Chain A
């Protein structure tokens, strides 16, 4: 069964600290994996996309990794800011363009 699992479910960190969010998937065949950020009361916004051949990609303070062999991805946030408080959703695109959503990690950054 095609599934996307994210951990932790929620995370609290202090401003300025780093954190890493995990995404494990069983989707096959695999097309790409995308991380979205969803602020409270808003729709998700794409942060980065990972394809099969990419291991690491950065977007400012966000760095995504992909290990296609173990079917794992991570999103690392460096020097967190209060505005990073949001839910982070991992979405895997499989065969026939099927999109499988994770349940998200809720991150709270406190001053």
Chain B
């Protein structure tokens, strides 16, 4: 168990550019979540997958955001035409399909849009 890994750790991009983040969950975990966190705030839910199926998307997730988990393993989160308001920490978490199972978070990708 190597934990949840996210890549890259940091990303600086210019407004209007597209960015893509990757998350590799714990291998036996079938649930995968994406959250966004700004300074001094708790994580805000963006979307989650059960295996390869995207089961829920937050209203925060505008049409510029898209997430995939094509084979039920790793996931990608793409942001198109980035805006300065997209600057945040993007956290990925995975868990087993049980209410008692904790979320295991990666250390996030910090996005800065200039």
Chain A residues engaging chain B, CB cutoff 8 angstroms: 31-32, 34, 36, 41-46, 49, 51, 89, 91, 93, 97, 99, 101-104, 106
**Option from B41, B45, B104, B107 in Cβ contact (under 8 Å) with A41:** B107
Highest count of chain A CB atoms <10 Å: which of B4, B42, B44: B42
Q: Are A89's CB and B107's CB within 8 A?
A: no
We find that the number of chain B residues with CB closer than 8 angstroms to chain A is 18
B92: nearest chain-A partner, CB-CB = A43
Assess the B42–A49 pair: CB atoms within 8 A: no
Bound CA–CA A42/B106 (angstroms): 7
- Interface residue ranges, B against A (CB under 8 Å): 4, 40-45, 91, 93, 99-100, 102-108
Q: B105: which A residues are within 8 A, CB to CB?
A: 43-45
Q: In whole angstroms, how far apart are the Cα atoms of A101 and B44 in the complex?
A: 8
In the complex, the number of residue pairs spanning A and B with C-beta atoms less than 8 Å apart equals 46
Query: Could you tell me if A101 and B42 are in contact, using CB atoms closer than 8 angstroms?
Result: yes
B103 in contact with A44 (CB, 8 Å): yes
The interface residues of chain A lying within 8 Å CB-to-CB of B4 are: 43
How far, in angstroms, from A101 to B4 measured CA to CA in the complex? 20
